[in-house]
Structure 1
Amino acid sequence: MNPLPILYYGVPSGCSFGSIVALEWLGQPYQLSRIEMPEEVTADEFRRINPVAETPALMDEQGRVLTESMAILNHIAARGVGRIGYAQGTPEFDRLNRTLAYLNTSFFNAFAPLWHALEHPSADDAALKRYGRDKVEKVHAQLEAMIGDGPWLLGEQRTVADAYFIGIARWSQYHDVVDRSAYPKLQRLFEALEADPAVKFAHAIEDKTPALSAGGFRGEIKLADTLPRLLQAA
């Protein structure tokens, strides 16, 4: 049996959620490796996969490892040009890359104060949460202004940007911030994505409930069982 790509995804509520959705949309065979945070992701074993100790990471069929969500999503999109991505050098690719960059920087980082307050409780929590709430509201307003009236972030075609968006946007519920109904375009997009089979699949994978793949999911593999392939690639 030929090796399959392996996505290392972080739980709980990792941003790797979007990469699971994108792989489901791609429809090509892949495996998943569950990484518990913060314990397993910071252990020496996973640092052999990603020295930065962050998920997601993607091991390809040859045992090479790619890290960082934006790089992984562009890699997946390149395998699905015309369906969830665009050919590099086209205006559509530039728009997709710009949107991914915004999601990967401004949108993602707006939640950082809220995660810090949750993971490192202190007397300054109230101020940190107010700061985080303000940042999250700001990026929602900015993204609402950036997108058009189409059903997806880039218009009529869904892309890996939509997959990444839903993985981050759900954090507003996790932290109980932002009334998304104040941003009707984003609310419509959020509801459409939450109803998508690939998104439901990713939720089930994270929650360890029965997961029905509409794509190429070929099961989970333990981190330790993936390392021999990494050694072959070294």
Structure 2
Amino acid sequence: MHPTLFYGVPSGCSFGSIVALEWLGEPYRLCRIGMPEEVTGDDYRRINPIGETPTLLDAQGNAISESLAILNHIGARGIGRGLGFAQGTRDFDRLNQMLAYLNTSFFSAFGPLWYALEHGANGTDLEALTRYGAAEVRNVHAELEAMLGDKPWLLGEQRTLADAYFIGIARWTRYHKVLDRKDYPGLQRLFDKLEADPAVRFAHAIERQEAAHSNGGFTGHVTLAEAMAQG
């Protein structure tokens, strides 16, 4: 059985895991999970009791949840492609550190803005959440801009899974217009380069349910029921 990635729509952070699987090039399947209804339903909670995406069912049917864990799993399979590094090496530690920053600080900065949008905040609550979220998002962009410097990729000369995870979160400024990425020229350069990447274009098309051409190992979609029966 090929691994199956359960990805959330619209615009889930699982986007980065789709990009990573494309870069890996090994066969995999996708299962589309609607948010918030389907992802919190009883059927999906049998796979992920927390009711969040992404989740990866590996080739043996074992479930792996949380983006950081999934990306490290993919990275371990993609060492030969430069996507990940052997545990115990300095490069592994650097990658894990960057993934952890993206998974905590960068991701979480958008939390107040998502809460305001998804819970219909208004009045003083909306004003407070927006002000706080905007400040957090600007702060993490400034921090990541400093980390990136003049490097072509987040970790340096080599593209890694950190870049795949970055693009899935960075695009959220399309929903939350609290900054102009052009104020962060390094991140704008990285964002534009990733948006032109075939794997990123593929992931966008998958989310939009448009014709999607895989340069990786995508073998097709399965329904949640089919994935559960084969998992």
TM-score, scaled to structure 2? 0.97
Tell me which amino acid in the other structure corresponds to 2:52: E
Residue 35 of structure 1 corresponds to 33
Q: Does 1:224 align with 2:225?
A: yes
* Conservation of the 8 A alpha-carbon contact between 1:69 and 1:104: yes
Could you tell me how far apart the structure 2 residues matched to 1:100 and 1:135 are?
18
TM-score, scaled to structure 1? 0.96
Could you tell me how far apart the structure 1 residues matched to 2:215 and 2:175 are?
26
SS at match of 2:219: strand
Q: How does 1:3-82 map to 2 (within 5 A)?
A: 3-82=1-80
Residue 116 of structure 1 corresponds to 115
Query: Which whole-Å deviations, capped at 9, do the CAs of 1:109-134 have from their partners, x for residues lacking one?
Result: 00000000000112311221111010
Residue 105 of structure 2 corresponds to 106
Query: Which whole-Å deviations, capped at 9, do the CAs of 1:120-163 have from their partners, x for residues lacking one?
Result: 11231122111101000000000111124221100111001000
Listed as ranges, the gaps of 5+ residues in structure 2 are: none
- Residue 28 (structure 1) shift: 0.4
Tell me which amino acid in the other structure corresponds to 2:17: S
Residue 154 of structure 1 corresponds to 155
Residue 206 of structure 2 corresponds to 205
* Conservation of the 8 A alpha-carbon contact between 1:9 and 1:55: yes
- Residue 79 (structure 1) shift: 0.5
Could you tell me how far apart the structure 2 residues matched to 1:138 and 1:173 are?
17
Residue 183 of structure 1 corresponds to 184
Could you tell me how far apart the structure 2 residues matched to 1:192 and 1:174 are?
20
* Conservation of the 8 A alpha-carbon contact between 1:55 and 1:67: yes
The number of equivalent residue pairs is 228
Could you tell me how far apart the structure 2 residues matched to 1:20 and 1:178 are?
26
Deviant stretches of 4+, over 2 Å: none
Could you tell me how far apart the structure 2 residues matched to 1:197 and 1:130 are?
36
Residue 146 of structure 2 corresponds to 145
Residue 196 of structure 1 corresponds to 197
Residue 173 of structure 2 corresponds to 172
Could you tell me how far apart the structure 2 residues matched to 1:80 and 1:178 are?
34
Residue 85 of structure 1 corresponds to 84
* Conservation of the 8 A alpha-carbon contact between 1:55 and 1:68: yes
Query: Which whole-Å deviations, capped at 9, do the CAs of 1:197-230 have from their partners, x for residues lacking one?
Result: 0000000000000001010000000000111233
121-130 or 40-49: which moved more? 121-130
Tell me which amino acid in the other structure corresponds to 1:24: E
Tell me which amino acid in the other structure corresponds to 1:131: Y
- Residue 80 (structure 1) shift: 0.5
Tell me which amino acid in the other structure corresponds to 2:120: P
Tell me the C-alpha RMSD between the 2 structures.
0.8
Tell me which amino acid in the other structure corresponds to 1:70: L
Paired-residue identity, %: 68
Could you tell me how far apart the structure 2 residues matched to 1:196 and 1:10 are?
21
- Residue 175 (structure 1) shift: 1.3
Query: Which whole-Å deviations, capped at 9, do the CAs of 1:40-81 have from their partners, x for residues lacking one?
Result: 000000000100000000001111000000000000000000
Listed as ranges, the gaps of 5+ residues in structure 1 are: none
- Residue 182 (structure 1) shift: 0.9
